[in-house]
Every structure is written in structure tokens, then in C-alpha cells.
Amino acid sequence: MSGGFLRFESISKSFPGVKALDTVSFGVESGSVHALVGENGAGKSTLLKILSGAYRQDSGSIVVAGEHVSFASPIDAIRSGVSVIYQELHLVPEMSIAENIYLGHLPNRFGFLESTVMLDLAATQLAEVGVQVDPREKVGRLPLALRQMVEIAKALTHDARIFAFDEPTSSLSAREVSRLFEIIERLKESGKAVLYVSHRMDEVFSLCNAITVLRDGKHVFTENDLSQTSRSEVVNLMVGREIEDIYGYKSRLIGEPVLEVKDVVAEGIRKPASLTVRAGEIVGIFGLVGAGRTELLKAIFGANRFASGSIWIDGVKRRIESTRDAIKAGIALCPEDRKDEGIFAIRSVKENNNLSARRRNAHMGVFIKERWEHWNALKQVERLRVRTPTIQQHVGNLSGGNQQKVVLGRWLSENPRVILLDEPTRGIDIGAKKEIYDLIYELAESGVGVVVVSSELPEVLGVCDRILVMREGEIVREIDRTEANQGLLLELALPTGDKSGAAA
Amino acid sequence: MRPRQLWETTGILVVFVVFVLILAATVENFATPINIRTILVSVSVVGMVACTMLFCLAGGDFDLSVGSTVALGGVIAALVVNKTGSLAYAVLIPVCVGAVVGMVNGFFIAKVGINALITTLATMQIVRGSAQLASGGSSIGVSNESFAALGQTFWLGLPTPVWLMIGFFIIFGVLLNKTLFGRNTLAVGGNPEAARLAGIAVARTKIAVFTLQGMVAAFAGVVLASRVTSGQPTAGLGLELQVISACVLGGVSLTGGVGTITGVIVGVLIMGVLENAMGLLNIQAFWKLVISGSVLLLAVTLDRLKHKASLRRKAERV
């Protein structure tokens, strides 16, 4: 073994002010699933982008099957049999599965599309990745997990020998994840080399057989036999310090109800949903993707209209017809989709931070108070420990964890009574996660009611005082933290009886 | 960060200054007070309308109906002044009509959800047609002394339209940079969903932007009518494209969320200077079109390159 089927040799890459990768070398064997882990900013994504041809390395080289390759563009990478599957998939939603799979090399005769040939080929290709869907179906109609399968099938038509996945499970439900893992197993068995980037240690240890750890752009560790290492060792290598219990739950004094949701029916919520959050309490909502969790939060926040039901804050019924009403009532929502719903990437940290609270802090309600905005942005950045060179920095240039902190800062500036957090730690590294948990406790300690929606069982169990389980648009059960366990929550969350969700 | 921002905001300014210096050195009669005054007057209508077009573009939309609204504003002003002889009415009534046009645009775009291109393409024709109908298809002459004050008087050596344009630049500059409304507009253009979830009234902001746009376009039409002493139903043909070109030249992003008033001012001036220089050089009208179009394409290309460069910088270091 001279270092693997795919080999990175002293790869370095700098961006203005940052050394993203510093002489990184390691190899990935064929027939192996190789985990690539590291905190945000460790250089994983940069490495993947170099592998995919999106970036050029400053120095060093990539070796595939013993040959030095050089990728000037993504097409070169594809031709060399490299397929990188990103979180955001590169598919055309309005076209069929078959068309997507063969995009760029559609079966044709003299330029005329051979539909039947294409559909047959596509069906075979889909069978190979183990999914049964009609290849004529539009990609836009598929659940995310299936779209990933389509992406994999597409890669197989290019004779990809190397697959790299970038956080593929971050928006999948538990069932979809196990499906994806089956396919990755199959890729491994057919001798492909798989590079798997993830923050989730459970996944890494159940799926992968080799691991590489990056830290601050440097290679720190590679083990080709994953059983030779342990979770805690890997985590310690990632952060370079000891972390024991990342949740660090402490019980608190719990007061009067701050938020009462009574019999709310809205888009995505089939049965009247009721819940109460008390001052100082952290209430978790667990459920699979599509169970109505996000919809419930959006209804409470006035972002989705509700058909019936009422919202009470501090025992007073409030009319909430818009997000503005909700904010005035003391409700805040950190949305699930940071990029599309949370941040303004092209604007500064300061601007993002003050977007909402500036309404209450303007001269005569019209003119912006520059000094207050500056002060407030600095205050939140310091409080949340946002890692940014200045408050003038564009938020799009920060890491995921820091972007999330900026969104949190926006809401903390409003001093809300209740804060709704939708997947607050999705796609962010362990260090930043811990900081966000600490902040949640701090908020609760100060008497704010906190609602945490999460797909990560350990997170829900580790952080919340009380957990509501949602399934198919209804709240099915409420469980105290002392009675909850992973098995029970998952069992409640999984669809029962009729297999109506056949597509998933 | 700092030097780069400096380049992004002043880069076009440097280009402009160099351009002007070259013209001053090579083109006869270019750098004379009279010619400079001529340039400023010639851009005054475009300049005023560009102020609100900046808001439209920054908010992620654009407005093709402004040229027609300029014509309608002028025609109505002429009709009103001939009937009443009052300057106040001749300004107020067209501006109100312009506000209605803008509100209709805003309503269909923000509330009904029709895209800005289609909506304003439709109102562009409706409004142009209305101007023709109101005027009976021919221009309406005005011989009222006080009405002429708006377009033909001077103050401190500069014509009133130029002062009005300068006033608009100041007002809308303040509005964009110093008020909630301005920042909210940028936020709406930058990421509409995030803006909504931050409690910004997205639809209301858009409607306000279009309403202002309609009012300013109609007012510019009144000023134009005063300058040429007639309300012409064919006034402002193609103005929308000149205005959008000027904004884009000034670095306003067509995808929304980015734009500065200083950029727009420079963009407007570049357009005016170019037009003027071509006139002084006796360049054939057909060539002028070719050159103007090429300059726009060049500007958009530059914007694109800048955007790409910033994307490359954004290289998420995850």
C-alpha cells in the first residue's frame, strides 16, 4: 500500500489572510469509506473543492490510481472519475430523474433525444443504487434523500471511482440516512473509494472504516483501521483539547408559562397542536423531517398563517398575523435554513445583527442610530463570541457556527420572552455547538422560554427539560427528560401502521 | 478589507475622472462652463429617476414603466397648467398620478406575486397609451410664465432642474443610508425570506419603493415639460433603459441588495458625459447607439467579474 487509490500530497491553499490548507497529505484506499473530520475552518470543504476542481491548490498534488492529476475545472475532475456530492445538490428540479442522470451526455441519435433508451438506462442505473422510482418523475418532486441517490446514480454514469460526500445527512431524516448508508456500503463493496465528510461522530463510527482528522488546515491524524481509535480520541484530536460532556445540562428554576399555544392548526399541522413553555424552561421538539416541526414554529412566529387556534404570551392572548406581530409580542425564531432564511450573506455582521432591533432604536422611528447599532453589534459579538475580524465583515465570509451566532445575536438584541430555535446546531462544529448550548442555558437561566427543534436525538435528550414528539403533523407525546430515551423517542417519531410515506 | 472596499466604492469614480480628463484634453469645447452646464441639464431627468430606480434595483426588482410615467407626468402637467394656470396643481396632480402608477406596480409585484419585468412591461404600455390618450396624440404647448420657473430658471449659475437633481441625490442618499426604510429595502433585495423572518414588512416596503418611483418619474416629467414648454406623449422613450444603465454603471446589483447613491451619481454622469462628448465629436446618431450599448455591456461585465471575484474570496473555509 503506497498510500491509497486517491492520494493527497502536500496540498496547500491560501486565501487572503488565511492558510486554509497547509501541506496536507493522506491516502484513501479503494473499497473503503474514509471519514474526513475536523471542526469548521479545519479545511475539509476547501480540500473537497480542490478535489472537485472548483479550486486550484497553491502547491501539492492529487494522485489517482498512481497517476498525478491536475484539475483545472470540475469537468477535469469528473473525467478523472471523481464525484463530489455537496450538501446543495446540482440537479435541475424541473427535469426528470432520467434527464438529470444523463445531463450533458443525453443518449441521442443525430441530436434527437432517444427517450426510451434514456429511460431504460436510467432505470438500470437507479436499480444499481437500489432505489425504485419512476425515472420520468421530476427531480423537484423528490425528497432530498432521493435526490442524493439521483446524484449518485449520475456520478456512476461518469464511471466515478472516487466519491466524496460533504455532510450528506445534515438534512435527512433517520430513515433516509440508513438508506444512504446502504448505498455507500454498496459503493464500498464495488471497490470505490469514498471520502465522507461529517460532523456526526455516530455516523462516522458506524459507517466508516478509516479516518483522517484535519485541524486548522493541517493534517493531524490518519488511521486506516477505525477500530484502532475511539470516538473520544477523535474528538480530542479535532478540537485539540478535552471535551467530556458537550451538553452539560444543569437544572434550573422554572417559572410561570411564557408561551402557550392552544389548538393551533396550520399548514403542515394536521391535528390541533398545543404546547406550553414556562419561563426558564427548555422544551425540545423531536420528529423526523416533514413531521411539521418547522411549520409549527413558523405558525407560532406568524410566518405561516394558522387556520385556527391562539397564542398566549405571559398569560395574555396575542394576535399574531405577521412576523412583526410575533416580534412585538416577544417571540423570536432562528430559522432552520440559515442561508436562505437567516443571514444576509452580502451584508456586514453589524447590519445582520441590527436588522430587527433597530426598529425600536431609531430616532423618531425613521433615522438609524449609528452609535447604538455599532454598540449593540459589538455587544452581541462579544457576548456570543462570534469569530469575526470586525463587525464590518460580510456574514457570508464567516463559518456556519459564526453565522448562526450572528442570527442569534439579532434575536437577543430584541430581548425576547420566548426564543424558537429550529435546528440551531445543524452543520456546525462541536466547539461552536457547545457555545450555543451554553447560550441556551444562559437564556433559560434569565427566564426566557426556549424551544429547540432538532433531528439529533442526543441533542434533544442532552439539552431539553421536556420533549414533545411530532409525527406526521401532530404532537403525539410529551415526555419529561427523566423518562426519555433514544429508543422511545425514535419509536414515537416513526410513522406507524399504513405505509403512506412510500416515497421516503 | 478596507482597501478593497475603497476600490469597490471609488473604483468607478476613478474610471470616471480619468475618462473626463481624457475628454477634456482631447475634445474641443468639452471642458467649458457652458458645456458642463449642458451636460448637467441633459442628465437631470435621468438623474432624478435613477434615485428611485436605485431603490427598485436594491430591493431586487426593476421598473420599465418610468419612461412612460415621465411622459404621462408631463402631459398631465401641461393639461393642468393650461386649465388652472397654477404651478402647484401642475406639480401635485401629476405626482399623485405617478404615485398611483407606482402603487399599481408595487401591488402586482409584491401582493399578487407577478414578476417585475412582466408587471412593469405591461404598465409601461398602459401608461404610454394613457399619455397618448390624454394628449390626443400630439404634444401640448404651455405658455405659462410660472410653470417655466421649474425648468428654465437659474440659481447660483445653475439651472433649476440641476438643483432639483442634486436635491434628490441628497434626499435619497439619506433615505438609503440613514433610515430604516433604506436598510429594509436593501435587506428585502438581499434575501427576501430572511427579511420577512426578521419582521420586515416585505410587501409594504416594495409597494413604497414603487410608489416613490412613480412619484419621482412623474415629477421628472413635469420638470421636463417645463424645460421644453410642452407636455409630450412621446417623451421619455427608452428612458427606463438609460436609467437602469446608469445605475448598473454605478455598481448597483441587478440581483438586489447592493447599491450606493454615489455610484448612481457617477453612473448618471458617465452616461451624460459620453452622450455629450459624442455630440461634440459629431458622431453619427446610429454610432451613438452602438457605443452606448457597448458601454453598458462593458459595465455589466465588470460587475459580473467583481461578483465572481468576491465569490472566489468567499471560499468558505469550513
Nearest to A324 among B1, B199, B258 (CB): B199
Under an 8 A CB cutoff, do A344 and B314 touch?
A: no
Q: What is the pLDDT of residue A379?
A: 94
The reply to whether A358 touches chain B by the CB within 8 Å rule is yes
Under an 8 A CB cutoff, do B183 and A43 touch?
A: no
Looking at residue A139, the DSSP 8-state letter turns out to be: G
Q: What's the gap in Å between the CA of B96 and the closest CA on chain A?
A: 23
Under an 8 A CB cutoff, do A342 and B197 touch?
A: yes
Angstrom distance (rounded) from CA B140 to CA B225: 9
- Which whole number is the average pLDDT over A24-35? 93
Is residue B48 within 8 Å of B272, Cβ to Cβ?
Answer: no
Q: Residue A242 — pLDDT band, cuts 50, 70, 90? A: low
**How many structural domains compose chain B?**
1
Q: How does the average pLDDT of chain A come out, rounded?
A: 87
| Structural domain of B267 | 34-308
At residue A453, the 3 state secondary structure works out as: strand
Q: What is the pLDDT of residue A245?
A: 67
Per the DSSP assignment, residues forming a β-bridge with A273 are A264
Angstrom distance (rounded) from CA A428 to CA A344: 18
Is residue A471 within 8 Å of A492, Cβ to Cβ?
Answer: yes
Best mutation target among A344, A370, A428 (most B Cβ atoms within 10 Å) is A344
Best mutation target among A343, A355, A392 (most B Cβ atoms within 10 Å) is A355
Chain B residues bordering chain A (beta-carbon distance below 8 Å): 1, 178-181, 183, 186-187, 190-191, 193-201, 257-258, 313-318
Q: What is the CATH number assigned to the segment(s) A254-330+416-434+444-495?
A: 3.40.50.300
What is the amino acid identity at position A163? F
Nearest to B198 among A346, A356, A400 (CB): A356
Residue A380 has, within 13 A of its CA and on its CB side, a CA count of 27
Question: CATH number of the domain that B188 lies in?
Answer: 1.10.3470
The predicted model scores a pTM of: 0.74
Which residues, 6 or more positions from A333, have their beta carbon under 8 angstroms from its beta carbon?
A297, A298, A300, A301, A303, A323, A326, A411, A419, A420, A422, B197
* Grid cell of B198 as nine digits: 426578521
Q: What is the pLDDT of residue B2?
A: 52
Q: What's the gap in Å between the CA of A123 and the closest CA on chain B?
A: 36
At residue A362, the 3 state secondary structure works out as: coil
The reply to whether A135 touches chain B by the CB within 8 Å rule is no
Q: Is residue B29 part of a domain?
A: no
Is residue A12 within 8 Å of A24, Cβ to Cβ?
Answer: yes
The reply to whether A410 touches chain B by the CB within 8 Å rule is yes
Nearest to B196 among A15, A303, A358 (CB): A303
Whether the complex's predicted ipTM is more than 0.85 is answered with no
Angstrom distance (rounded) from CA A199 to CA A12: 23
pLDDT tens-place string over residues A45-88:
889 999 988 888 999 999 998 889 888 888 888 888 998 887 66
pLDDT tens-place string over residues A332-345:
999 988 888 889 98
Q: What is the pLDDT of residue A437?
A: 93
Q: Residue A410 — pLDDT band, cuts 50, 70, 90? A: very high
Q: Is residue B2 part of a domain?
A: no
C-alpha distances (whole Å) from B41 to each of A485, B35, B37, B216, B272 are: 76, 10, 6, 17, 9
Is residue B218 within 8 Å of B156, Cβ to Cβ?
Answer: no
CA angle B133, B134, B135 (to 5 degrees): 95
Query: Chain A residue with minimal CA distance to B185?
Result: A355
The reply to whether A404 touches chain B by the CB within 8 Å rule is no
Residues of chain A with CATH 3.40.50.300: 6-239, 254-330+416-434+444-495
Q: What is the CATH number assigned to the segment(s) A6-239?
A: 3.40.50.300
Start-end of H helices in chain B: 2-26, 33-58, 66-84, 87-106, 116-135, 145-152, 160-178, 180-190, 192-197, 202-228, 239-249, 261-280, 285-314
Under an 8 A CB cutoff, do A389 and B257 touch?
A: no
Q: What is the pLDDT of residue B112?
A: 95
pLDDT tens-place string over residues B17-70:
888 999 999 988 898 999 999 999 999 999 999 999 999 999 999 999 999 999
Give the DSSP H/E element, type plus range, for residue A186. Answer: helix A174-189
Sheet with A316-318: strands ordered across:
A269-278, A257-266, A306-313, A316-318
Q: Is residue B115 part of a domain?
A: yes
Is residue A293 within 8 Å of A489, Cβ to Cβ?
Answer: no
C-alpha distances (whole Å) from B71 to each of A195, B228, B235 are: 63, 12, 5
Q: What is the pLDDT of residue B116?
A: 94
Angstrom distance (rounded) from CA A182 to CA A205: 15
Of B10 and A413, more confident: A413
Under an 8 A CB cutoff, do B201 and A303 touch?
A: no
C-alpha Rg value of chain B to the nearest Å: 20
Q: What's the gap in Å between the CA of B116 and the closest CA on chain A?
A: 21
Which residues, 6 or more positions from A151, have their beta carbon under 8 angstroms from its beta carbon?
A85, A89, A90, A91
Which of A120-124, B212-216, B222-226 is the least confident region?
A120-124
